[in-house]
Chain A
Amino acid sequence: MSRIAQRFETLRTQGRKALIPYITAGDPAPTLTVPLLQALVEAGADILELGVPFSDPMADGPVVQRSGERALKLGVGLKDVLSMVRAFRRVDADTPLVLMGYANPIEAMGTDSFLDQAAEAGVDGLIVVDYPPEECAAYADSAKRHGIDPIFLLAPTSTDKRIAEVGRVGSGYLYYVSLKGVTGASHLDLSDVAKRVPVIRAATRLPIGVGFGIRDAESARQVARCADAVVIGSRIIQEIESAGAEHAVARVKTLLAPIRAALDAPQ
């Protein structure tokens, strides 16, 4: 059983929901990525999503775009991100870690070479935003053979046919993007989440994470009523951006802790 599957299994027996924070690797400084990941775990993260900076992040809103630009200015590439994962694994062997990014940096490294290195570094899952299941059957198979879960996105507009397809090709968990738009948008539609998640659940046995637009303890708590996991990204990056390098680690802990508490509070 993969680290991700194991984590969801443990949470299920405890009757708890997974908290999945996202940060961009290398922002605000490459030396801070591992301390930030550790801080997120201490504040109650169950699974970590680490963003790989890309020059053309088509699906991201301004907050995640800016964090990627800051990391790129510091010269952070996919190789550096893998080094950060290795460094994190030396201090944390248990928390599942998912890389999230775009196809081109991976293809530039060579997909097989990347998967070898990612598996060796201790990556548990991959979200390649611009790899829909139809375009990447070989990649998904190869990732699985490397012990890495290929995780796919679903949207409010996804048809039943696509939901079934993603449930078949993907593993680890499904990532339901809870709104039309880019990361960090503010209009989370809770009634849509409540309506769509059961439809997805009927089509797959994978755990369902919900993200895009979750900003605080209250929205996290409401989403967790129907989802297995709550993904929170732009709000954390905003906190890092405003805190600056010196205070970023302390501030993300302060931000995440009450969200953890809200998820664990009796509904």
Chain B
Amino acid sequence: MQMYDLPDARGHFGPYGGVFVAETLSQALEELSAAYDACRRDPAFAAELDYELKHYVGRPSPIYHAKRLSEHFGGAQIYLKREDLNHTGAHKINNTVGQALLARRMGKPRVIAETGAGMHGVAAATVAARYGMECVVYMGAEDTKRQVQNVYRMKLLGARVIPVESGSRTLKDALNEAMRDWVTNVENTFYIIGTVAGPHPYPMMVRDFQSVIGRECLEQMPALAGRQPDAVIACVGGGSNAMGIFYPYIGVEGVRLIGVEAAGEGLATGKHAASLCAGRPGVLHGNRTYLLQDGNGQIIETHSVSAGLDYPGVGPEHAWLKDSGRAEYVAVTDAAALQAFHDLCRMEGIIPALESSHALAHAMQIAPGMPRDARLLVNLSGRGDKDMHTVAERSGIQL
């Protein structure tokens, strides 16, 4: 297999990625690229990051062989990468620790972030508290109502949460507003983007920080399962947990990479968030990628039971991996994800995030058709405590 060395110097993954921003941000992004390049080459930065990941985040996260679940479906063995066991309960903190350390090196005392369900906002607020930085989190006004507990968690951690009233009042609008804040306060402010989207260097940088997930798997799978998996499966909203586990496997032959998008009420209904499966290329939030858009090129609203997958774009590297054929992308409905959620709760005693439940659902769909010695590695990107209200409501239960 050819050496994979994307993106290029200006952040292109084939025709995707790049730096599509107003001139007012160009200089800030160049400064960020230069600072990140310096840190990448600095062993002291790597050592500091490793220390924090080990002692503050709790890495490495284990891989767990879900034997009862595998037995139940009667085919491939299902292994779970337990990112739900990280501090703050999801993979998001791998990235916020990295970016906060970078912000500190750049001498920026203020960090801002966008958040949808609130998990990235909590992870950003957490590291801001940890490193003594001021923190402002932008969150769609609709989402602040749906995720009251996470709003309170962020406030407990000392962050200011600003509800965004513009546009559709969801994640994409929070991202727009965070960009506007950054343009205005660029001298003292570092923008911690939560996923592998946005203008270069964000897709590359977030991927690099998250790829600790896949690097651990490369070592853990042979030790636990005797060899590398036949397929790696991860949910894709913006796509950071998927990029994190896929990236180290891109050059490993014989390992399928499967990204699972949110099909919501079904791709045919139009009520979904499956940019790669049902969108087409365009430009949003600083990069070229697959987008859910109408005939006039306006970005449309997305639907998913899982707020973390509710994004009309997707990281540009996924767009490239799709076109190049190295990764496959499928979509799983709300109903299938909820079933997988309940199955994992009852058969393994693990309450998964609804986002991760999409990846699980796909594993459960393909496992029965595979031999018993096949191995599926699912990225269990987060825990489901935040989803209690949603799941209860769907089951007709008032908490």
The yes or no answer to B149 lying at the interface (CB within 8 A) is: no
At the interface, yes or no: A258 with Cβ under 8 Å from chain B? no
Q: Mark B1-42, 1 if CB is under 8 A from A, else 0.
A: 000000000100000001111111011100000000000000
Question: Closest Cβ of chain B: how far from A58's Cβ, in Å?
Answer: 5
Contact B296 A177 (CB under 8 A): no
B283 touches A103 (CB 8 A): yes
User: Closest approach, in angstroms, between the C-beta of A260 and any C-beta of chain B?
Assistant: 28
In the assembled complex, the Cα of A159 lies from the Cα of B293 at a distance in Å of 35
C-alpha spacing A79/B184, complex, angstroms: 33
The answer to whether B183 touches A77, judged by C-beta atoms less than 8 angstroms apart, is no
Please, which residues of chain A bring their CB within 8 A of the CB of B282? Answer: 103-104, 107-108
CA distance A131 to B27 in the complex (A): 14
B298 interface hit (Cβ, 8 Å): yes
B24 touching A159 by the CB < 8 A rule?
no
Residue of A102, A131, A154, A157 contacting most chain B CB atoms (<10 Å)? A157
A226 at the interface (CB under 8 A from B): no
Q: Is the CB of A180 within 8 A of B183?
A: yes
Q: Please name the residue on chain A nearest to B280 by beta carbon.
A: A108
- Cβ contact within 8 Å between A55 and B299: yes
Q: Is A30's beta carbon under 8 Å from chain B? A: no
From the candidates A65, A69, A130, name the one contacting B20 in the complex (CB within 8 A): A130
Establish whether residues A105 and B23, one from each chain, have CB atoms under 8 Å apart when the complex forms: no
B166: nearest chain-A partner, CB-CB: A65
Contact with A along B134-175 (1 / 0, CB 8 A): 000000000000000000000000000000001110001100
Q: Is A106 an interface residue (CB 8 A)?
A: yes
Task: Pick the most buried of A55, A66, A129: most chain B CB atoms within 10 A of its CB.
Answer: A55
Chain A nearest CB from B198 CB (Å) reads 11
What's the interface size class on B, roughly?
A: 35 or more
- Give which listed residue, B10, B168, B172, B179, contacts A134 with CB less than 8 A: B10
Task: Pick the residue among A56, A57, A106, A154 that contacts B23 (CB under 8 A).
Answer: A154
Q: Given that A102-B283, A157-B186, A180-B183 are contacting pairs, would A55 and B298 also be in contact in the complex, using a CB cutoff of 8 Å?
A: yes
Please determine whether A59 and B24 come into contact, CB atoms closer than 8 angstroms: yes
B284 touches A56 (CB 8 A): yes
Which residues in chain B, 199-252, are within 8 Å of chain A measured between CB atoms? none
Flag whether A162 is at the interface (Cβ < 8 A): yes
**Which residues of A sit under 8 angstroms from B20, Cβ to Cβ?**
103, 130-132, 135
In the assembled complex, which residues on chain A have CB atoms less than 8 Å from the CB atom of B179? 58
Interface size class of A (residues with CB under 8 A): 35 or more
Known A-B contacts A56-B176, A107-B283; A157 and B293 likewise in contact (beta carbons under 8 Å): no
Q: In the complex the two chains form, is A107's CB within 8 Å of B297's CB?
A: yes
Check: B286 CB closer than 8 A to any chain A CB.
yes
Q: How far is the CA of A249 from the CA of B192 in the complex (A)?
A: 44
**A130-B286 in contact (CB<8A):** yes
Does A109 touch B at the CB level, under 8 Å? yes
Contacts of A58 in B (CB 8 A): 21-22, 176, 179-180, 285-286
Tell me, rounded to whole Å, the shortest Cβ–Cβ distance linking A252 to chain B: 24
Q: Which residues of B are found within 8 Å of A105, using beta-carbon distances?
A: 296-298
- Interface flag for A185 (CB, 8 Å): yes
Per-residue contact bits, chain B 82-93, to A (CB 8 Å; 1 contact, 0 not): 000000000000
B43: CB under 8 A from chain A? no
Scan residues 123-165 of chain A and give those whose CB is less than 8 A from a CB of chain B.
129-132, 134-135, 152-155, 157-159, 162
Given contacts A55-B168, A185-B184, 17 further A-B contacts (CB under 8 A): A55-B299, A56-B173, A58-B21, A65-B166, A66-B166, A69-B166, A77-B295, A77-B296, A103-B283, A104-B284, A104-B298, A108-B293, A108-B297, A132-B22, A155-B24, A155-B26, A180-B24
Top 9 closest pairs, chain A to chain B, by CB? A108-B297, A77-B296, A105-B297, A157-B27, A59-B22, A181-B184, A153-B23, A103-B283, A55-B298
A-B pairs with beta carbons under 8 Å apart, 26 shown: A54-B297, A59-B22, A61-B180, A69-B166, A103-B283, A104-B293, A105-B297, A107-B282, A107-B283, A108-B295, A108-B296, A108-B297, A130-B20, A130-B21, A130-B283, A130-B286, A132-B20, A132-B22, A132-B26, A155-B27, A157-B27, A162-B23, A177-B22, A181-B180, A181-B184, A182-B183
